């Protein structure tokens, strides 16, 4: 391999590492937001099925919010 192809490969690896770090951060933030909302909206004993249903609904709602935010961001560009 020549130096030019090595440099290109290194740039690609850096780009992908940055993308992975960004996605990982978004997933972590999303999880934290869902967990916080779940804790604040749950009072008293809850069955596992109820907890899973609430968590699923909160995840869907959070995904909608993120999609709306991303769409607004794209329109601003």
Which residues make Cβ contacts (< 8 Å) with residue 46, sequence separation at least 6?
54
Number of structural domains found in the chain: 1
| Residue 34, burial from CB neighbour count under 10 angstroms (0-12, 13-18, 19+) | buried
Instruction: State pLDDT tens for residues 52-73.
Output: 999 899 889 888 888 888 888 8
Q: 52: which 2 tokens?
A: 């899973």
Enclosing domain of residue 68: 3-76
* pLDDT tens for each residue of 14-55: 888 888 888 888 777 778 888 888 888 888 888 999 989 998
């Amino acid at each position: 391999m020549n130096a030019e192809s090595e440099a290109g490969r290194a740039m690609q690896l850096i780009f992908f590492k940055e993308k992975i770090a960004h996605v990982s951060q978004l997933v972590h933030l999303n999880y934290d937001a869902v967990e916080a909302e779940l804790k604040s909206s749950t009072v008293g004993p809850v069955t596992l099925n109820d907890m899973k249903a609430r968590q699923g609904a909160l995840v869907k709602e959070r995904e909608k919010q993120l999609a709306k935010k991303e769409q607004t961001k794209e329109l601003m560009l």
